[in-house]
Amino acid sequence: MRRAALCVAAAIALGASSCTLDRGGEPLCAQSGDSVMVLEAQSVPSATRLPCIAEFPIGWGFGGMVVDDTGTTLWLSHDRAGFHAVEVELSSSCDVSSGVEVPPGPDEVGMQVFQQPTSLDPYTGSRWLTFEGGCIEYRYRFAPGSEPTLVIEADRALSTLPRATIVGRIRKDLDLTLCGAGAPPCPG
């Protein structure tokens, strides 16, 4: 959390347009008011949902995260599925035309969900969650020889939070207002 704050301060001071976070910068669902989730919320102010990490099943870990003014990309690595086994991207929109609509999971209610598996060995594919103001894309790129069923674990590791949760926490804890969905419009 302190690392995310330092990343923001350095980006502002240096005029950089993105922050890169690694270990210690995980967007954890349980820590909805931390600076990593605030960065993510402001990367796509129109998004009403934000990707976060619910839990790490055995073998899974946080690989890193890049946040800029067009979105957020984070990735998970696995001891068998490999580095960057799952990449998660938050953006204002996605092209889901190559996917097939599927029923949403329990933590995806209210979203439209599309999938496109492209290969079973090694497992590759995409899953899109679309909602008001944004889209989250999961890109699965497992290492050769890893079990395709690891996608179930990856999906268990990932979840979403309503942006309103972060907006409310920042208002309550810091008496600040984030701009964007569920709050005043952002300037510009």
Residues above pLDDT 90, as percent of the chain: 64
> Quick one: pLDDT at residue 5?
47
Which residues, including other chains, have CB under 8 Å from residue 151's CB and lie 6 or more apart?
123, 125, 140, 142
Q: Which two tokens stand for residue 172?
A: 């309550």
Is the predicted pLDDT of residue 15 greater than 80, yes or no?
no
- pLDDT tens sequence across 104-146: 988 899 999 999 989 988 999 999 999 999 999 999 999 999 9
pTM across the whole model = 0.86
| Residue whose structure tokens are 């984070």 | 74
Q: Which two tokens stand for residue 169?
A: 């926490």
Is the predicted pLDDT of residue 12 greater than 90, yes or no?
no
> Quick one: pLDDT at residue 187?
74
- pLDDT tens sequence across 135-144: 999 999 999 9
- pLDDT tens sequence across 37-53: 888 999 999 999 999 99
DSSP state at residue 133: T
Q: Which two tokens stand for residue 69?
A: 């003014």
- What is the mean predicted confidence (pLDDT) over 55-79? 95
